[in-house]
Structure 1
Amino acid sequence: MRDAESEAAEQQAEADRLTQAQKDLANVSAVPIPVSAVAQVGEERAAAAITRIDGVRTVTVSATPTGDDLSATTLAVREGLAGLDLPSGVTASVGGVAQDQEESFAQLGLAMLIAIVLVFIVMVATFRSLLQPLILLVSVPFAATGAIAALLITGTPLGIPSMIGLLMLIGIVVTNAIVLIDLVNSYRARGDGIDDAVLHGARLRLRPIIMTACATIFALVPMSLGLTGGGVFISQSLAIVVIGGLVSSTLLTLILVPVLYLLLERRTERRLEKRERKRTAKAARHEAEEHDEQTDEDLDAILTTNR
């Protein structure tokens, strides 16, 4: 009971003290103090906003390129950054559209490798050979050579649309080589010699291959000239890459692929003939040894009879 009374008295005393303090504050007056009396005032440059990435203070410098060649602009920016003498602890890197382009190039490069592997697997299953698909894949790097040459001739920068065009070429250029080698293999299976099969196959497939390539090239000419309206910056470089790759790959398919096929099959035939000769010689030696053994046995039998 005494504890409750003492606690109530303490609370009442605290309330009276706070009430008196509030009354005293109403009568308080002060003299204003200028900031210059306690600090030095001046103008300093400072960031309008502070940005942090992964806890690290970051400053973003943006620029808009005036040309269409993003790769050349990025290269110039990197060269400029390499020539800067940055303070200790400060680093600089290129981001934005340039970084997106680099990531897209890496992804498209991986897609090209996967496409080549898939095409190779399909051709191995079709031709039941590991060497003939390699001959067909020779047209892929030559297609890339023609595509790059077309970009250089027209002054078109290598961008994402161009990489997409190269990815398309992997499937397009191999088709002509497949129809050519498939016909040659049909002649070989019929019993024709290597030279006759290659000669007749290339002669019969010459016109269809050229007509197919020309049809595709002429269909892409308006796009390559920028006559398709909106989205020219995407479609034009893609069309130029496909046209250049088709021209080079078609010519080399008609010339180089038959030559490589002829060399490969001749080497294979020589290996088979050599193996057959070894097998025949081995069988002949074995037969001669059996004949000698039989002769010795006959002689022994005759001598035993004479005795």
Structure 2
Amino acid sequence: MMDSFKSLGLALLVALALVYLVFAAQFESITLPIMVMMSIPFAMSGAFLALFITGTSLSMVSFLGLIMLAGIVVNNAILLLEFINQNKQKMGRDEALIEAGKIRMRPIIMGAGTTVMGMVPMAIGSGEGGETLAPMAISIIGGLIASTIVTLVLIPVLYAIFDDRKAKKDEKHKAHDRMVLELEAKWREEDCRNV
């Protein structure tokens, strides 16, 4: 059992690394994939809470559900970030954050809701061998509900924080460049005077 959990833990780490690499290539950024992946810890905590509430123990099948969550829950964050990135220049960052929440909330809730509803029969354990797959469905349902609720609030906040830091960094670089240009101009004047 311990060997199986170790191999599944390794599979989870590989899944997280692959998700990060795909998003880094898609967004052509290092920080945006980190924002997208911030919903995964909340999904894991939601899955553990759902397993605890239902009295289901952590098993191989429920751990497979956790691995699946790593790929499922990031979709909501992608919907928000894509809208914000596309409309940031047109309407400003803060307005884009507000509009992303308004416009994308319905598709996010509908997508998560249909997935949760599709997992309910499996979580109940109906059908032949249904009780075997029930822990996986329970962990997916709990993780998806928790990450959906948190993502709608967390992703816009994180985006604003990261964007503010980037703006400050860009302003520092611009100030440094201006200072360098001023010094170069001053040195040229001094060289002309000396000649």
- Which consecutive unaligned segments of at least 5 residues does structure 2 have? none
The question of 1:233 aligning with 2:152 is answered no
Q: CA deviation at 1:275?
A: 1.0
Give secondary structure in 1 for the equivalent of 2:150: helix
Find the partner of 2:8 among 71, 94, 108: 108
Is residue 2:25 matched to residue 1:122?
no
Which of the residues 219, 232, 237 maps onto 2:118? 219
* Structure 2 contact 123–137 (Cα < 8 Å) conserved: yes
Tell me how large the CA RMSD over aligned residues is: 1.7
Report the equivalent of 1:286. Answer: 184
Instruction: Provide the residue aligned with 1:250 in structure 2.
Output: 148
Deviations 1:90-118 (A, max 9, x none): xxxxxxxxxxx333222211111111111
Counterpart residue number, 1:178: 78
Q: Is the 8 A contact 2:64 2:136 kept in 1?
A: yes
User: How far 1:130 moved relative to its partner?
Assistant: 1.1
* Cα separation, 2, equivalents of 1:139 and 1:109: 18
CA distance in 1: counterparts of 2:120 and 2:105, whole angstroms: 22
In the comparison of the two structures, how many residue pairs are matched? 195
Structure 1 stretches of 4+ moved >4 Å: none
Deviation at 1:256, TM superposition (A): 0.8
The one-character-per-residue Cα deviations of 1:186-226 (angstroms, maximum 9, x if unpaired) are: 123x4543222222222221111011001111111222223
Q: Which has the higher contact order (CA 8 A, sep 6+)?
A: 2
Q: Which residue of 2 aligns with 1:276?
A: 174
Q: Contact 1:220/1:243 (CA < 8 Å) preserved in 2?
A: yes
- Residues 105 and 160, structure 1, Cα contact 8 Å, conserved in 2: yes
Residues 42 and 143 of structure 2 are in contact (CA less than 8 Å); yes or no, is this contact kept in structure 1? Answer: yes
Could you tell me which residue of structure 2 aligns to residue 166 of structure 1?
Answer: 66
Distance in 2, Cα, partners of 1:204 & 1:127: 21
Greater helix share, structure number:
2
What is the TM-score normalised by the length of structure 1? Answer: 0.60
SS for the counterpart of 1:238 is helix
In the alignment, which residue of structure 2 is the partner of 1:267?
A: 165
Pick aligned residue for 2:56 from 156, 159, 171: 156
TM-score, normalization by structure 2:
0.92
Mapped partners of 1:229, 1:141: distance in 2? 32
Give the conservation status (yes or no) of the 8 Å contact 2:124–2:131.
Answer: no
Give the counterpart of 2:102 among 203, 209, 213. 203
**1:141 paired to 2:41:** yes
Q: Return the alpha-carbon distance in structure 1 between the equivalents of residues 170 and 139 of structure 2.
A: 43
